[in-house]
Structure 1
Amino acid sequence: MATVLLPISFFGCNLQRQILYPVSATAPAPAKTASTTAPTTTAKAASTTASPPPPPPTTITTTRKKGPRFSEPDYRSVVADFLVDSLEFSEKEALSTSTELTKWRQSRVIKVCATDFHRKAELVIRFLEQKGFEKPQMRKLVSAMPQILTRTIEANLEPKINYFLELGFSTSDIVDVVSAQHTILNFGLDSTIRPTIEALRTVMGSVENVLRVMKRFRFYYFPHIPRYFVQNVSMLQALGIPIEFIRKRIFQLCAPLTQKPETLKDIVAQAEAKWGVSPCSNMFFYAVDLLCRINEENLDSKCRVFESFGWDRSDMVDLFRSVPFFFGLSEGNIKAKLRFYMNELGYDVRFIIKCPSLLFCSLEKRVWPRHLVLQILSDRGLVDGNLPLCKALGMTESKFLKQYIQPFEDAVPNLHDIYVNSIGTRKVCLLPAPSASLQSIADSLIRAVVKMSQMLYR
């Protein structure tokens, strides 16, 4: 037996592996010496002597020659310096972008060293300048997709950028598309980008409309557009929906139009048969979009929340036809709003269905603060006590302040401060039990406001 050192090259690393080989089998034959010419009888005599026991198996050890390594902090600083010097990034922006690029580099099997980064990045900047990109546009492009600096020109960037320019996209359009779709340049030109744009142009009718869609569509829908988009649009047209209406509502159809056609067909049937939303309804696309995003089990669970507040099936269908996207809220959000409107304010089911704006707004940030102001003004006789809350919720912030805050600041000191400080603080306000009367609710609200004012201006 003999020990042999074999040099091995593996991914650029020089390794030496120490392996035990039998001399007679695999080890190289020893060089001939004078002793090898001894008489045959001597050799036979030596062979009859007892041979020593074989040595124990030798463990395999692997050693790696140490070489220079490029640490991640150094790589980040090199990238940051390049961004500042070449593209006039601020130090803060350069550090953020270089950190993102470093994280992306760590996920790669073959990493780009500092020298290669400088060389590739300079080539990319020079290429973009030749295509007419200005420095602010390149800054925005690199901020949205830092790994563009490591792309090859001939095989990756040039064919895709040229294709966009041939379509009629301006350099600013390309920057906007890449900013909205951070990974679009990662897709293959012939496998994804070109078929996607052709499918969009078939439906949208013009490059301008295609560009509008690409700036707003989510990138994860892109691989599905060539396969399903045109076929699903044809199915909707067969239901009697005009193509102009589809184009106008295209952004409510991102998820539905990228579903498998048989899946979309089932969803359309469910919206019409189970929830009474016809394809001619303005809420049809919202209903289809919702049913694409949540499964039937989730929807049934939310229906049980409505049932716990006394709603029947027909009430839920009426609400779904009016505001289907309300069913997309979490169960906790739905329960909190129904508890506030029905148990605390005493609204019945039909009133809530007729005023769907009650369900749109944030309970903590909009509903509770405005209800609090109206309750204070109503208790002091400054506004009509029967003023509907849904009217106040539909106002813009400036209009609400102008109509219900500013005219009464003399009559109600610190009314504006009470309103502002009540935003997001509904949880700390002590409310009576749901069974209390509306008068006791108003009294408790006034006490809570007075206590809050004393705490703020003590």
Structure 2
Amino acid sequence: MAIYICKSLISLSLNNSSHLNKTRIPLLSLLFFSSSPKPPSPVADYLLDRHKFSPETASKVSSVVTYLKRPEETDSILSFLQESGFSDSHLELVIKRMPQVLSANLERTIKPIFKFFQDLGFSSTDVVKIVSSNPQILIRRVGNRLGPSILALKSVLGSNMHDVSRALKASGSAWLLRYDLAKNMIPNIEFLKSCSISSSQIAGYVYIYPTFFMRKPTRIREYVKRVDEMGFDRKSKMFLSAIRTISSMTKENWELKLELFKSMGFSEDDILSVFRRLPQVFAVSERKIKAITQFFLSTGKCDISFLVKNPNLLLLSVENRLKPRLRVMEVLEKRNLLLKKPSFTTVFQRSDKKFFEKYVLPYSDEVGELFVVNKASSTAEICA
């Protein structure tokens, strides 16, 4: 474009100098704007030059925060975070996720949040990890859900703030602090306790599946009703797992999973038995369930009843565990190297390390090539 305009200017100068005088300004302006790069954002310059942020972070933040009213106050915010234990990588993470932190109020918002955590007994390392996983905390005031949410978690997990910290750091669960836990979580937990589920089991699930407890109380009651209708014993340790599994699936997906089991030869009683023994099997993909079932049936040594009694086998990997171990056992049996033939459950449920020590290491010449030993961690990995 620029070359074309230059040629046009030369041509005009040769043919009509008066015409050039009339067109010089707009043509030169077009040439300038066609070749000049987009001017950098002042915010990007500030982050790059003044605080040495990466170009990626500077670009992303400047697309959200177009200007800073008081750069000196932003300096104070960044300095405070650094003094509080935030590394350069932590700062980049926080600013990228929540650029508005640059314009937050240090004295009225950020400092009170840190003091609140410290007064509750959180370590500096804990605060850094919690805030990094959910930077929105830094633009909320302590009294606005943050304080009540922490206290609600404390009532659920016990008086030990270490447990609360663990819950907030687990799986990025610090987002819980954005919500009014007294609205959903606390009522749900109280209801589940009334269903004979222990506080310790509930606390364990809060660490792993916090979103489950944030569902509307009416939905939780619906899930419990469905599990009850399946004849589940409320005193079973699998009762809470059954409720959570049901909550993770739509009714349509549940019906599809039932049809899959039926198509492979499971009766309705078989399906219910599997669910009662190990509910999480129903969260496994249809393709995996089908592959594992077909694998065991193809051996000619197992039937459906075997899988019903050992549903945990439906959680294993066909390629990484079942097939390689079966090959090892076939070699050992063929060469009469086993004094006592182990059961299928023993063969497939042992950890990789124990399986290696029991069935591979003593017979390394015969089956050693089927395994690779990870010397750094002293564990054995099965070759597919």
Q: Which TM-score tier does this pair reach, normalised by the shorter chain?
A: 0.7 to 0.9
**Counterpart in the other structure of 1:3:** none
Q: Does 1:133 align with 2:84?
A: yes
**Counterpart in the other structure of 1:154:** 107
Q: Unaligned 5+ residue runs, structure 2?
A: 1-32, 374-379
Q: Is the 8 A contact 1:357 1:390 kept in 2?
A: no
Tell me the distance in 2 between the aligned counterparts of 1:252 and 1:347: 34
State the shift of 1:78 in Å.
Answer: 6.4
Q: Does 1:389 align with 2:344?
A: yes
**Counterpart in the other structure of 2:233:** 278
**Counterpart in the other structure of 1:142:** 91
**Counterpart in the other structure of 1:239:** 195
State the shift of 1:124 in Å.
Answer: 2.0
> Aligned ranges for residues 337-348 of structure 1 at < 5 Å?
337-348=292-303
Q: C-alpha deviations, 1:369-391, integer Å up to 9, x for none? A: 22221122222222268422321
Q: Does 1:199 align with 2:152?
A: yes
**Counterpart in the other structure of 2:259:** 304
Q: Does 1:423 align with 2:383?
A: yes
Once the two structures are overlaid, the 10-residue window that deviates more, 313-322 or 395-404, is: 395-404
> Aligned ranges for residues 54-453 of structure 1 at < 5 Å?
70-71=39-40, 79=47, 95=54, 99-100=56-57, 102-106=59-63, 108=64, 110-112=65-67, 119=72, 121-128=74-81, 133-134=84-85, 137-139=86-88, 141-147=90-96, 150-152=102-104, 153-187=106-140, 189-206=142-159, 207-216=161-170, 218-222=173-177, 223=179, 225-251=181-207, 254-274=210-230, 276-383=231-338, 386-412=341-367, 414-416=369-371, 423-424=383-384
SS at match of 1:202: helix
Tell me the distance in 2 between the aligned counterparts of 1:284 and 1:212: 24
Q: Is the 8 A contact 2:57 2:92 kept in 1?
A: no
SS at match of 1:414: helix
TM-score by length of 1: 0.64
Shift in CA distance, 247/413, structure 1 to aligned 2, threshold 3 Å? closer
Which has the larger Rg?
1
Q: C-alpha deviations, 1:115-157, integer Å up to 9, x for none? A: 97x645531233235xx624xx434532542346624213442
TM-score by length of 2: 0.76
Q: Alignment length, in residue pairs?
A: 338
Tell me the distance in 2 between the aligned counterparts of 1:277 and 1:181: 38
State the shift of 1:346 in Å.
Answer: 4.3
Shift in CA distance, 221/157, structure 1 to aligned 2, threshold 3 Å? closer
Letter in 1 for 2:181: I
Q: C-alpha deviations, 1:88-116, integer Å up to 9, x for none? A: xxxxxx64xx524533442x2x4247x97
Shift in CA distance, 267/369, structure 1 to aligned 2, threshold 3 Å? same
Letter in 1 for 2:184: Y
SS at match of 1:226: coil
Shift in CA distance, 376/204, structure 1 to aligned 2, threshold 3 Å? same
Tell me the distance in 1 between the aligned counterparts of 2:50 and 2:332: 61
Q: Is the 8 A contact 1:140 1:179 kept in 2?
A: no
What percent identity do the matched residue pairs reach?
Answer: 23
State the shift of 1:192 in Å.
Answer: 2.7
Tell me the distance in 2 between the aligned counterparts of 1:71 and 1:375: 67
Query: What is the Cα-based RMSD across aligned positions, in Å?
Result: 3.4
Give the number of the structure whose residues are more often helix, by fraction.
2
State the shift of 1:298 in Å.
Answer: 0.3
Letter in 2 for 1:71: P
Letter in 1 for 2:294: R
